[in-house]
Amino acid sequence: MALYHSPLYNDALAQLEMASTTMKADPNIIERLKYPKRAIQVSIPVRLDDGTVKTFEGYRVQHNMTLGPGKGGIRFHPHVDLSETTALAMLMTFKCALVGLPLGGAKGGVKVDPNELSRQELQALTRRYAMEIGPFVGPDKDIPAPDIGTDRQTMAWFMDTYSQIHGYASHGVVTGKPISVGGSLGREEATGRGVAYCIQFAYEKMNKRLDKSTTVAIHGFGKVGIPAAEDLVAQGATIVAVSDYSGGLYCEAGLDIKKIATFVRERHLMKDYQQEGVEHISNEELLELDVDVLVPAAIDSVVTKENCEKVRAKMIAEGANGPLTKEAVAYLTDKNVFIIPDILCNAGGVVVSYFEWVQGLAHFFWDHDQINKTLHSILKKSFDEVVYKADAFKTDMKSAALIAALSKLEAAMKLRGLFPG
């Protein structure tokens, strides 16, 4: 079956099995969570700038909607397929449950390299994709957001297409929109901010503080990696390395994050960055640096059984979804590396997406202070809950996060029952 071929899906299933055994979850509930509720595959024909038509493959997977409408990003990347999208939708189910949102798990994507399309072609692709999955999304059904290769402009096109079809401006259909069309303050930096908060919580748990001597390496310098780096610098840490898909930069004394972020936002690649005292390193070298904190914030499965023995970081904050394979998690946990699990570490994005959805439905908008305070308090509560479950079940943070999520899902699924009975 097409579902089973991706390592991410198999890892998600293995983690689900492990956590459910530890917590002695109801096997009938786990059986239901192994499969997506609904998986939609669409064809997206686009007229390219040269007049020819090219058809792209798109998906929207709704994994579980017991707690509320589906929520999850849309990824534009050449590796998108049904299996990966399903695994990511499953992670969204667990993430929303863990942080206590009234939302289910979903994910979407188009198999495309967005760097190879013009702006007009990307707009056409986004609008046709929005139209094709349109019957299955909506403020009460499933609410997409940005992910790898998509951004607030993509969300504005999506929102406009849905609104044109329905004949009114729908603020609640997507999150991650620009502020001028109903976006929320703080959404752009929310995921990275949440990563930085979680690292701070982990340091507090060890009765330590982040300071100049705390070294951090960030793999992937995009919508998650950049704000995480900016907030960690504001907290006093030293970012010694960052990377994008073209390669990485290293400076023992600390990189100028503001300057590199400006360079990257101007659509330059790291391989072309030049500054005295800054060395160019490979992505593999970055992952193996002897640092206090490693933040994998690019793609899944970057620390695997092949390279986990070379990882020297003392703490790993999973900014990306599934950056560590299950073998890497087992090996590093055994070596006492403190892992902040993805469904907790990068949940800041979906939390502020939830605020954006609520604001859109209420047509009333919050200020920055309220957003940040509420985000901080939700993530702190969730972090403490995961630490509590890890102690209670004598297990690692990855399993503990899943146990915390599964406990809430199990209770809700039992109360709602199995239709038709």
Interacting residue ranges for ligand NAD, rule: CB under 6 A: 146-149, 191, 219-225, 243-245, 283, 297-299, 319-321, 346, 349
Which tokens in the block code for residue 135? 């019957």
The rounded distance, in Å, linking the Cα atoms of 136 and 236 is 45
The rounded distance, in Å, linking the Cα atoms of 313 and 198 is 16
Nearest residue (CB) to ligand NAD, 25 versus 218: 218
Of 229, 249, 248, 247, the C-alpha closest to 238 is 229
* 256-259-264-267 Cα dihedral, nearest 10 degrees: -160
What H or E segment, with its residue span, contains residue 232?
A: helix 225-234
Of 178, 139, 137, the C-alpha closest to 156 is 178
What H or E segment, with its residue span, contains residue 44?
A: strand 38-47
Pairing of strands 53-64, 70-77: unpaired
Nearest residue (CB) to ligand NAD, 142 versus 147: 147
- Give the nearest distance from C-beta 166 to ligand NAD in angstroms: 26
Nearest residue (CB) to ligand NAD, 147 versus 385: 147
Nearest residue (CB) to ligand NAD, 26 versus 151: 151
- Give the nearest distance from C-beta 279 to ligand NAD in angstroms: 17
H-type alpha helices, 39-137: 82-98, 119-133
Q: How far apart are the first and last CA of the chain?
A: 27
Which amino acids are annotated catalytic?
A: 107
- Give the nearest distance from C-beta 42 to ligand NAD in angstroms: 20
Nearest residue (CB) to ligand NAD, 69 versus 349: 349
Of 114, 132, 126, the C-alpha closest to 156 is 126
Radius of gyration (C-alpha) of the chain in whole angstroms = 20
- Give the nearest distance from C-beta 286 to ligand NAD in angstroms: 8
The rounded distance, in Å, linking the Cα atoms of 287 and 289 is 6
Nearest residue (CB) to ligand NAD, 18 versus 343: 343
Pairing of strands 247-250, 279-281: antiparallel
